[in-house]
Amino acid sequence: MEENTIISESGATAETKSSVPGSTGGFFRSFWGAIVDFFKKDLVRYIVRRVLMFIPTLILISILVFFVIQLPPGDYVSAHIAQLATEGELVDADYAAQMREDYGLDLPVWQQYLKWVKDIVWTPTDSTYYRLYHSHHNWKFSFAYGRDVWSVIKDRLGLTILVSAVIMIFQYVVSIPIAVYASTHQYSPGDYISAVIGFIGTAIPNFIFAIILMYLSYKWTGNANVGLFSQEMLQNGVHLYNFGEFLKRMIIPIIVIGTSGTCGIIRSVRAQMLDETARQYTLTARAKGVSERKIVMKYCFRAAMNPTVSGLGGVLSSLFSGSTVTAMVLNMQIQGPVLYKALQSQDMYLAGAIVMVQAVLVVIGILLSDIALAFLDPRIRYSGGNR
Amino acid sequence: MAKKIKSKEDYYLASQWTLMFRKLKKHKLAKISLIILAILYIGALFADFLAPYGLDEFDGLYKDTAPTAIHWKFEDKNVGPHVYKIKKIIDKKTFEVKFEDDTTEYYPVKFFVHGTEYKILGVFKCDLHLFGIGEGSNGGTGAKIMLFGADTLGRDIFSRVLLGARISLTIPFASAIISFFLGIAIGSISGYFGGALDMVIQRIIEVIGAVPQIPLWMALSAAIPSGISTIKMYFYMTVILSFINWTGMARIVRGKFLSLKNEDYVMAARLSGVSTWKIIWKHMVPGFMSYLIVSMTLGIPGSIVGETSMSYLGLGIKSPATSWGVLLQEASTVTDVASHPHKLIPIIFVTITVLAYNFLGDGLRDAADPYK
């Protein structure tokens, strides 16, 4: 309730100041005024500023990724042609020259970068690339897969996001109640047990944890549950009747990838809760006879949620990080194994694109969490979000 | 009474580091962790001596064998610790290869035996090992002691864990030190000078922080040329791991600089004509060194897991060099784990080290906090 009044108040003050001078007529004036008012609202201004800050971040990510792509010694096209030659394929000089031009290899590095970005954003209709793939976004050619980089990424992007989202929801659903319990029962056996389990989750590298669970699953159920889909699902697709099987195959990834992040969330929420319970207002509420349950849920918990929401981007980043190696061991159909295959064959444009897509997803996560935080906490809007 | 006053005086006169150390000593978990880490690092330092076999010493007979059992009694006589040589038996029905102890003679476990030659600390030549197997009771040879079993080539996993610890324990440590200095340098520039430079550095830090760690590490490791020497590989891995870790450090340094740069003592130093770098290093950095060390300690576990994961995937340390991740490559499928569970033993060391660094970091953080 309080938030709404703040917004409308600021809106009202803005209206009095910003009414456009002149006599252009009633409708246009009120329309223009409404737009100006809209952008004068703190929340909207904050969101616009955050979205604008997304652009330089995006540019920096692309520079970082291009740096990574350029790192391996030797140039990409010569390596590819050498590889083709060892496989016994004849490469004609025209093809090589055309590729060199497509990758801009004869240009200085910064022009190569600009060309790379330009090709991704827009490839003209008369280019060879467009004639081949009918796409305006040239992400270059993946040697490891023998097709366009973007088509390789697109294949698994949806599933990667889905799996990450499911695991993320699991992490929050599990860790927040545990953290609240641990903070209200500080130094109790439950507190210690949660700390130990969380620590072990972080201390055992994901890939070994996955193998051990696969082994246990094999021992107890006779099925190692490798991969996200069964043979039958790959043939017939995922439907309602075999969705249970899909969920069953999600258990190990959720446990393996989920536990490593859960520990971090538990620790930060617990610390936040403890900070809040030590505050003056908690004491006041208690002195006034507010029930303990209400103090925890209505006062401390809400305040403790803010840093948790703002940590969402970091959680997403560590989730991608954790799922990469785990996916290789569990043979999951997400981006991790593709990245591995790309790196093994030095297919740097594919590898770089995957890193870039993941980083952009994380930045979008940060953006969303910042906006969510602005809704939750009015102070953020006023301070301008210069955190 | 006098003693009490003395101790109070001690308390007020003690430097920040002494206070921190005293608090750390009270933190039991951190103390135990510190001892465990000390043992691990000393073990790695003298790995050649502690390990009964060299890095590449192998015996085809012992391929994939489970840990060697140590016996005390031979034909109801107490003859001290000894092992038996194994013999290969092929099941006549299933043609399954099995190993059995050859109990016709025993091989005593001896201390300070001569074995593979190595160099102590890389200088003195020596061939003494802490323990090993002596001659058999009937004069036979060829028995081995493999406390953690053997890998697919018949190499002793115990020796390889010890020798691999050299890389696995020092790469994260070295990269933490590199990121420590990088973080101070970049963070202090950002915090001290501010302005547009600060803005750019902060955005870069944000971007590196947003890129998922392990994929970025993997992509960077693709730049390591193949077929280079172990030392170069070690160097590359260290640099790659510190490529990401410095950002956290730089952020702390910058925050502290912003709050410290307007303090009176910094102003006084500046007025007295002290150079900028001297102000940074002599006056400001010592003020928040403890926070930096905490952050450095808490950053190490991530690097250990990162190095292990990458070496496991074959993107980091590669044979013939050995790290714990390389050892774990042997346990990469369910069948490996099901039939040779002893190949998981290196994971115990990874887990213990990561836990120890985490607990030590927690203890240091509590100790560095003046309000606790």
CB of B204 within 8 Å of any CB in chain A?
yes
Q: Kindly list the residues from chain A whose CB atom is less than 8 angstroms away from the CB atom of residue B331.
A: 208, 211
A334-387 pLDDT, tens digit each: 888 999 998 888 888 899 999 999 999 999 998 888 888 888 777 766 655 444
Domain presence at residue B205: yes
Predicted local distance difference test score (pLDDT) of residue B351:
92
Find, in chain B, the residue whose alpha carbon is nearest to that of A69: B219
Distance from CA of A96 to the nearest CA of B (A): 23
Which of A212, A214, A358 faces B215 most closely, judged by CB atoms?
A: A358
The tally of domains found in chain B comes to 2
Other CB atoms within 10 A of residue A203 CB:
23
Contact A366 B212 (CB under 8 A): no
Query: Do residue B188 and residue B256 come from a single domain?
Result: yes
Query: Do residue B305 and residue B216 come from a single domain?
Result: yes
Spell out the SS3 assignment of A303-323: HHHHHHHHCHHHHHHHHHHHH
Which of A57, A215, A317 faces B338 most closely, judged by CB atoms?
A: A215
C-alpha A327/C-alpha A321 separation (Å) is 10
Q: Kindly list the residues from chain A whose CB atom is less than 8 angstroms away from the CB atom of residue B305.
A: 205
Q: Kindly list the residues from chain B whose CB atom is less than 8 angstroms away from the CB atom of residue A321.
A: 212-215
CB of B315 within 8 Å of any CB in chain A?
yes
Contact B333 A211 (CB under 8 A): yes
Residue A207 — φ and ψ, nearest 5°? -65, -35
Predicted local distance difference test score (pLDDT) of residue A15:
41
pLDDT in tens, chain A (387 residues): 344 434 444 444 444 444 444 455 677 777 777 777 776 777 888 888 888 888 888 999 999 999 998 888 777 777 777 777 777 777 777 877 877 877 777 788 888 888 888 888 887 777 777 777 777 777 887 878 878 888 888 888 988 998 899 899 999 998 899 999 988 888 888 888 887 777 777 788 888 888 888 888 888 887 766 777 776 777 776 777 777 777 888 888 888 888 878 888 888 888 888 888 888 989 999 999 999 888 888 888 888 888 888 888 888 988 898 888 888 888 888 888 999 998 888 888 899 999 999 999 999 998 888 888 888 777 766 655 444
Contact B351 A224 (CB under 8 A): no
In contact, B64 and B151? CB cutoff 8 Å: yes
Distance from CA of B291 to the nearest CA of A (A): 18
CB of B29 within 8 Å of any CB in chain A?
no
Q: Kindly list the residues from chain A whose CB atom is less than 8 angstroms away from the CB atom of residue B355.
A: 199-200, 203
Q: Kindly list the residues from chain B whose CB atom is less than 8 angstroms away from the CB atom of residue A344.
A: 314
Mutate one of A192, A208, A312 to test the B interface: name it (highest B CB count within 10 A). Answer: A208
Contact A328 B355 (CB under 8 A): no
Domain presence at residue B2: no
Find, in chain A, the residue whose alpha carbon is nearest to that of B359: A199
Among A33-47, A211-225, B201-215, B277-291, the range scoring the smallest mean pLDDT is: A33-47
Q: Kindly list the residues from chain A whose CB atom is less than 8 angstroms away from the CB atom of residue B338.
A: 215, 218-219
Contact A73 B223 (CB under 8 A): yes
Predicted local distance difference test score (pLDDT) of residue B175:
93
Distance from CA of A49 to the nearest CA of B (A): 15
Contact A60 B211 (CB under 8 A): no
Domain presence at residue B183: yes
Distance from CA of B85 to the nearest CA of A (A): 31
Query: Do residue B194 and residue B132 come from a single domain?
Result: no
Domain end marker among B95, B123, B155: B155
Domain carrying residue B354: 8-45+161-368
Contact B207 A199 (CB under 8 A): no
Query: Do residue B288 and residue B354 come from a single domain?
Result: yes
Contact B220 A199 (CB under 8 A): no
At residue A383, the 3 state secondary structure works out as helix
Domain presence at residue B3: no
Predicted local distance difference test score (pLDDT) of residue B244:
85
CATH number of the CATH domain containing B275: 1.10.3720.10
Contact A57 B203 (CB under 8 A): yes
Pairing between strand B124-133 and A141-142? unpaired
Q: Is the pLDDT of residue B67 over 90?
A: no
Size of interface A-B (CB pairs under 8 A): 135
Query: Do residue B184 and residue B123 come from a single domain?
Result: no
CB of B212 within 8 Å of any CB in chain A?
yes
Alpha helices in chain B (DSSP H): 2-13, 16-26, 28-45, 47-50, 157-193, 195-210, 213-221, 230-260, 264-271, 276-278, 285-313, 324-328, 334-339, 345-368
Find, in chain B, the residue whose alpha carbon is nearest to that of A209: B347
Mutate one of B32, B36, B199, B214 to test the A interface: name it (highest A CB count within 10 A). Answer: B214
Which of A199, A328, A351 faces B355 most closely, judged by CB atoms?
A: A199
Predicted local distance difference test score (pLDDT) of residue A138:
79
Predicted local distance difference test score (pLDDT) of residue A381:
67
Under DSSP, the state recorded for B84 is E
Contact A359 B206 (CB under 8 A): no
Query: Do residue B96 and residue B241 come from a single domain?
Result: no
Predicted local distance difference test score (pLDDT) of residue A112:
86
Predicted local distance difference test score (pLDDT) of residue B268:
92
Mutate one of A64, A214, A215 to test the B interface: name it (highest B CB count within 10 A). Answer: A215
Distance from CA of A64 to the nearest CA of B (A): 8
pTM over 0.95? The answer is no
Under DSSP, the state recorded for B279 is I
Which of A204, A318, A352 faces B347 most closely, judged by CB atoms?
A: A204
Q: Half-sphere exposure (CA, 13 Å, Cβ side) for B27?
A: 24
Which of B214, B220, B337 faces A71 most closely, judged by CB atoms?
A: B220
CB of B308 within 8 Å of any CB in chain A?
yes
Contact A324 B215 (CB under 8 A): yes
Query: Do residue B146 and residue B246 come from a single domain?
Result: no
Find, in chain A, the residue whose alpha carbon is nearest to that of B357: A203
Closest CA to B357 of B217, B209, B187, B168: B168
Mutate one of A161, A213, A343, A347 to test the B interface: name it (highest B CB count within 10 A). Answer: A343
C-alpha B62/C-alpha B67 separation (Å) is 10
Q: Is the pLDDT of residue B137 over 70?
A: yes
With bands split at pLDDT 50, 70 and 90, how would you rate the model's confidence at B372? low
Query: Per-residue pLDDT averaged across B285-300, rounded?
Result: 85
C-alpha A153/C-alpha A142 separation (Å) is 10
In contact, A320 and A168? CB cutoff 8 Å: no
Contact B216 A68 (CB under 8 A): yes
Place of tokens 């260290």: B238
Domain end marker among B109, B125, B155: B155
Among A74-83, A158-167, B51-60, B67-76, the range scoring the smallest mean pLDDT is: A74-83
In contact, B320 and B336? CB cutoff 8 Å: no
Predicted local distance difference test score (pLDDT) of residue A149:
86
Closest CA to B110 of B81, B139, B89, B140: B81
Query: Per-residue pLDDT averaged across B73-101, rounded?
Result: 81
Predicted local distance difference test score (pLDDT) of residue A223:
73
Find, in chain A, the residue whose alpha carbon is nearest to that of B339: A215
Contact A57 B338 (CB under 8 A): no
Domain presence at residue B106: yes
Domain end marker among B115, B140, B155: B155
Predicted local distance difference test score (pLDDT) of residue A24:
55
Predicted local distance difference test score (pLDDT) of residue A225:
67
Partnered with residue B124 across adjacent β-strands are B120
Distance from CA of A68 to the nearest CA of B (A): 6
Q: Kindly list the residues from chain A whose CB atom is less than 8 angstroms away from the CB atom of residue B347.
A: 204-205, 208
Contact A317 B313 (CB under 8 A): no
Alpha helices in chain A (DSSP H): 2-18, 26-40, 42-70, 76-86, 93-102, 109-121, 128-133, 149-184, 189-203, 206-221, 231-236, 243-277, 280-287, 292-294, 301-310, 312-330, 335-344, 348-376, 378-383
Query: Do residue B285 and residue B212 come from a single domain?
Result: yes
Query: Do residue B228 and residue B360 come from a single domain?
Result: yes
Query: Do residue B131 and residue B238 come from a single domain?
Result: no
Mutate one of B218, B300, B326 to test the A interface: name it (highest A CB count within 10 A). Answer: B218
In contact, B87 and B102? CB cutoff 8 Å: yes
Predicted local distance difference test score (pLDDT) of residue B371:
63
Query: Do residue B221 and residue B296 come from a single domain?
Result: yes
Which of B210, B212, B315 faces A366 most closely, judged by CB atoms?
A: B210
Which of A57, A68, A219 faces B219 most closely, judged by CB atoms?
A: A68
Distance from CA of B14 to the nearest CA of A (A): 29
Query: Do residue B27 and residue B150 come from a single domain?
Result: no
| pLDDT cut 90: percent of chain B above it | 24
With bands split at pLDDT 50, 70 and 90, how would you rate the model's confidence at B1? low
Among A338-342, B112-116, B160-164, the range scoring the smallest mean pLDDT is: B112-116
Predicted local distance difference test score (pLDDT) of residue B171:
94
